[in-house]
Amino acid sequence: MRFRASILAVLGLLGVLSYGHSPWKPPQGSDQAAEVEKLDRELSAAGVRDDVDASSRLIADQAIFVWDLNQSGKITTKADNLADMKSHDYKLDSETFDEIHSKQFGDTVVIWGRTTSQGTFNKKPFRNIANFTDVWQKHDGKWQQVFTRATPVAKPQ
């Protein structure tokens, strides 16, 4: 009888422990957060291709961008970003992402992670590694980016 009670206690404890979130396996995001992560990568690819139309579609008219990389907190708008793409002063050759996370809050999805971008600005090459936060909101049934902040990752001393 004690053996059976011990087995039941162990099984009960395992059931309780497996119900909570495990520290080594993060909870899965919502389907909409995953959809927005794909749109975020699509927006990045549009920047590499200089695809102004795709960028315009994916960025909300009222979007705000804060760039802490080379311009020390400069705030730009959708119009500023599209003008840069059209001028060809800024050319993004590649952009890769890692440590991507997302969280949905109703009609808002926040995405954060690390990006490495390379290209040229005013014909001078650059390579930036930054932590970023992107905020997307659903407007009229479509997800659009409304905010971005990019902060450089400090180089090891």
* Closest by CA position to 152, among listed 134, 129, 136: 129
Q: Is the pLDDT of residue 12 over 50?
A: no
- What number of other Cβ atoms are within 10 A of residue 130's Cβ? 17
Q: Assess if residue 51 is contained within a domain.
A: yes
Mean pLDDT in residue range 62-87: 85
CB contact burial 12-33 (16+ within 10 A = b; e otherwise): eeeeeeeeeeeeeeeeebeebb
Q: Assess if residue 16 is contained within a domain.
A: no
Q: Assess if residue 94 is contained within a domain.
A: yes
| Predicted pLDDT at 4 | 42
Residue 30: φ, ψ to 5°? -75, 165
| Predicted pLDDT at 68 | 75
| Predicted pLDDT at 157 | 41
Q: Assess if residue 11 is contained within a domain.
A: no
Q: Assess if residue 24 is contained within a domain.
A: no
138 within 8 A of 105, measured Cβ to Cβ = no
Q: Confidence class of residue 121 from pLDDT cuts 50, 70 and 90?
A: confident
Structural domain harbouring 132: 30-152
Q: Assess if residue 80 is contained within a domain.
A: yes
Q: Assess if residue 14 is contained within a domain.
A: no
Extract the tokens encoding 60. 């909300």
Q: How many domains does the chain have?
A: 1
Q: Assess if residue 123 is contained within a domain.
A: yes
CATH of residue 115's domain is 3.10.450.50
